[in-house]
Amino acid sequence: MRRPYIAANWKMMKNLAETEEFINSFIPLVAGISDVDILIAPPFTSLSIASHLLLPTNIKLGAQNMHYEENGAYTGEISADMLLFAGCSTVIIGHSERRQYFNETDEIVNKKIKTAKKKGLEVILCVGESLEERESGRTFGVLDKQLAGSLKDISMDGVTVAYEPIWAIGTGRTATPEIANETHGYIREWLNKNKGNAGSVRIQYGGSVKPENISELMAQSEIDGALVGGASLKPESFANIIKGAKK
């Protein structure tokens, strides 16, 4: 059985003081939980303090993005080495907001994954369709293109896939567990066909995940965890999602 994996993506939320307050409150709430992998991805400015606070725990630290170049004249960008030095083990790549607002293509995502893996960072790769693409029956075609482009010449060791239907992110709408499971199953089938045995690859669901729906989502055979946005911003809410994630 694949080990559940719950990740918090704070996006552009929480300053240093708020990060410290959250983590100090959160750690006792999940003390003793050893059968769920937990990750927190705060803004870049909070990575250092988060790393210090999380060091005595089994909670992983992740970043929300990185540049594919190792260094250079890229004002405002962050490299893989910088993330490693800040204490990160993992980086989220290809989030729908990066694709939508910052014009990240599958080719760019592919370059980022290659650099991250080269440097020893684990990756959460995000894929997903818009509402218009879902309603016009193009979901699987969109996923085919994203997976093929993003994972070109990349092995799946150290890579988790997060399926995030764009129409369910921050909208309060959630794909039914059955719809989510069907799409996760399609992703796993694609990985098996194109990347070999994908039985051990974890596939998270992302899209208005909250304490009230996590157990039903995790009861599905192909859903291995969640990439959580808004519901990860409060310690009690995120802790309850983790507690509800046990298979």
Reported as a single tens digit per residue, the pLDDT across 15-68 is 999 999 999 999 999 999 999 999 999 999 999 999 999 999 999 999 999 999
Ranges of each domain in the chain: 5-243
Tokens of 35: 């059968």
Average of per-residue pLDDT across 233-244: 98
- Picking from 166, 203, 156, the residue whose alpha carbon sits closest to that of residue 184 is 203
The answer to whether 126 touches 113, Cβ cutoff 8 Å, is: no
Cα–Cα separations (whole angstroms), residue 215 to 4, 147, 157, 233, 245 = 12, 27, 27, 19, 6
pLDDT in tens, 98-153: 999 999 999 999 999 999 999 999 999 999 998 788 888 888 999 999 999 999 99
Sign of CA dihedral 172, 141, 111, 72: negative
CA distance 217 to 214: 5
- Picking from 191, 183, 190, the residue whose alpha carbon sits closest to that of residue 223 is 183
Which one is catalytic: 95, 129, 133, 222?
95
Question: Which residue's structure tokens are 């085919």?
Answer: 144
The answer to whether 22 touches 14, Cβ cutoff 8 Å, is: yes
Cα–Cα separations (whole angstroms), residue 6 to 17, 153, 209 = 23, 27, 10
Cα-flanking dihedrals φ and ψ of residue 39, to 5°? -135, 140
Is-catalytic flag, 95? yes
Q: Is the pLDDT of residue 167 over 90?
A: no
Query: Which pLDDT score, from 0 to 100, does residue 176 have?
Result: 87
pLDDT in tens, 62-90: 999 999 999 999 999 999 999 999 999 99
Query: Which pLDDT score, from 0 to 100, does residue 35 have?
Result: 95
> Considering the domain 5-243 in this protein, what is its CATH number?
3.20.20.70
Is-catalytic flag, 107? no
- Picking from 53, 47, 114, 40, the residue whose alpha carbon sits closest to that of residue 84 is 47
CA distance 57 to 78: 25
Average of per-residue pLDDT across 147-165: 97
Q: Is the pLDDT of residue 217 over 70?
A: yes
Query: Which pLDDT score, from 0 to 100, does residue 247 have?
Result: 67
